[in-house]
Amino acid sequence: MAIELYKDETHLCLKFDDFFKGTEVPSNQFLIVNNKWGILIDPGGNRLFSQLMAEISPYCPPQRLKYIILSHQDPDVGAGLNGWLLITDAKIAVSELWVRFIPNFCMVTLSEDRVIGIPDGGVELSFGETSLQMIPAHFLHSPGNFHVFDRKSGILFSGDLGASIGPEQENITSREEFERHVSFMSGFHSRYIPHSSACKRWASIARSLPVKMIVPQHGARFTGQEAVNAFIDWVEQLTGALG
Ligand SMILES: [Fe+2]
Ligand SMILES: [Fe+2]
């Protein structure tokens, strides 16, 4: 089922989160549509491909996908790429650190000339009549890691940062709800997020952006200034697995 994160006359942001029946880690997939052109963010593994394709088609036919953005290299992010490369003309955007790893997810000929390496400092990707900003988020948790900021909706797609496992709520909207939600995030962040310096750097970047919602690749999202600020404050004080 699609959860609508943002909608106006020309711009739509959707989250898909209910495909998981097996033992793999549950994850969120995202579609952004602007003037009939689409971008997929972190489309996930092989078993999701046909279901996700069916879900996005009413909003954006796969042939209208311009980019598929991978926040980082993990299998829950992009292991299903082969199918997407077969049925679309979309380009893959991923950290330049991971460009040579993409052929591991698909037939080699399919990825030729279709992978855009994002430089460490980030880049702006245009589609429809808008663009998305790739925000550097290295070591959160991957060494080549990008978050996606959609200025039109104010949504920051934060990859694994903010991941929660089995949360009670899908949408966290206040500091009080956030405090109750922390226990669903702590385990992941104490092991998968390595450095406190990366957390502090990210908090400073996030505060400089007009963020209205933060949506991780796993679990609940954070909506509104109070919840967004609570999340940024929490990330800033994380110690990380290595200090
Ligand atoms: Fe990951
Ligand atoms: Fe993940």
Q: Are residues 103 and 183 in the same domain?
A: no
Please, are residues 128 and 112 in contact by the beta-carbon 8 Å criterion? Answer: no
CA 77 to ligand 1 centroid distance, Å: 7
Question: What confidence tens digit (pLDDT) does each residue in 133-168 have?
Answer: 999 999 999 999 999 999 999 999 999 999 999 999
What does 161-185 look like in DSSP terms, one character per residue?
TT--SS-S-SEE-SHHHHHHHTHHH
Look at residue 21 in the predicted model and tell me its pLDDT.
72
The residue among 65, 96, 119 that closes a domain is 119
Look at residue 18 in the predicted model and tell me its pLDDT.
77
d(CA 214, CA 131): 18
Q: Which residues crowd ion ligand 1, with CB under 5 Å?
A: 74, 160
Q: Cis ω on the peptide bond leading into residue 11 (within 30° of 0)? A: no
Look at residue 24 in the predicted model and tell me its pLDDT.
81
d(CA 100, CA 98): 6
CA 72 to ligand 1 centroid distance, Å: 7
Question: What confidence tens digit (pLDDT) does each residue in 5-63 have?
Answer: 999 999 999 999 977 777 788 999 999 999 999 999 999 999 899 999 999 999 999 99
Q: Are residues 56 and 150 in the same domain?
A: no
Residue-number span of the structural domain to which 139 is assigned? 131-243
d(CA 189, CA 231): 13
Question: What confidence tens digit (pLDDT) does each residue in 80-126 have?
Answer: 999 999 999 999 999 999 999 999 999 989 999 999 999 999 999 99
CA 8 to ligand 1 centroid distance, Å: 31
Look at residue 243 in the predicted model and tell me its pLDDT.
80
Q: Are residues 104 and 4 in the same domain?
A: yes
Of 125, 184, 182, 134, nearest to 159 by C-alpha is: 134
The residue among 68, 94, 119 that closes a domain is 119
d(CA 82, CA 85): 5
Task: At 169, list the tokens.
Answer: 């709520």
pLDDT > 90 in the chain, percent: 93
Of 36, 45, 107, nearest to 70 by C-alpha is: 45
Tokens 């993990």 sit on residue: 74
Asked if residue 124 belongs to a domain, the reply is no
Rounded average pLDDT over 193-208: 96
Q: Which residues crowd ion ligand 2, with CB under 5 Å?
A: 76, 160, 217
CA 129 to ligand 1 centroid distance, Å: 30
Domain count, the chain: 2
The CATH number for 39's domain is 3.60.15.10
Residue 190 pLDDT grade (very low, low, confident, very high; cuts 50, 70, 90): very high
